[in-house]
Amino acid sequence: MSAKPRLSLVSRSPSASLPIDNPAFKHPSDRHQIFFLQRNTNANTIVYVAQFDEDGRLNAKHPLTGYWRRFAGNGQVMEFRWYERIFGFGAKTRALPDGTGYEVRFNGIKSQQLTLIQNGPFDAALYTRQNGENIKMIYGFLDVDETGLLPKVVQLRLYTSDPKTGLFVTHTIAVSGGAFRE
């Protein structure tokens, strides 16, 4: 299997409040949550949480983990299946040379580098860079086309907050080549 999506920014729109992409889908609020991802296909949600040691520092070996929150069921937690972890939703992390955090690359979009930064004890956030500034990631919403043999991601709406302005920013991103193929 492989997926090599290409991302193209379509629009960027700021707002004073966090937009809710699908009000019928519950937003998770898991302990140490740093980002979540939803899809138009059902309410099941992918949740990413920071992992800390007993002193509240990011775990050096595993600073981040992800799993399903099965909101289409009873909201139970379910680990990723091996192929979901390897080809899509799993993440690789690497400590930054300056010790300020961790580089994060999700397996489904390895070309996009994010940064996991510790803000305080038991407190971390996931950031992306835009125009030389850190933008805090909140959640993403994938539009998936399931009309073919295999599902294909066609659009991503990424919801972020700008620490400088305090505004929420919605980034609409076209995705091409987002189909999984064996």
More confident residue, 175 or 18: 18
- Would you give the end-to-end CA distance of the chain in angstroms? 4
Q: What is the pTM of this model?
A: 0.90
pLDDT for 97 beyond 90: yes
Rounded distance between C-alpha atoms, residue 104 and residue 84, angstroms:
17
For residue range 108-119, what is the model confidence (pLDDT) as tens digits? Answer: 888 788 999 999
DSSP annotation of 52 reads: B
Count the residues in the chain.
182
For residue range 8-31, what is the model confidence (pLDDT) as tens digits? Answer: 889 999 999 999 999 999 999 999
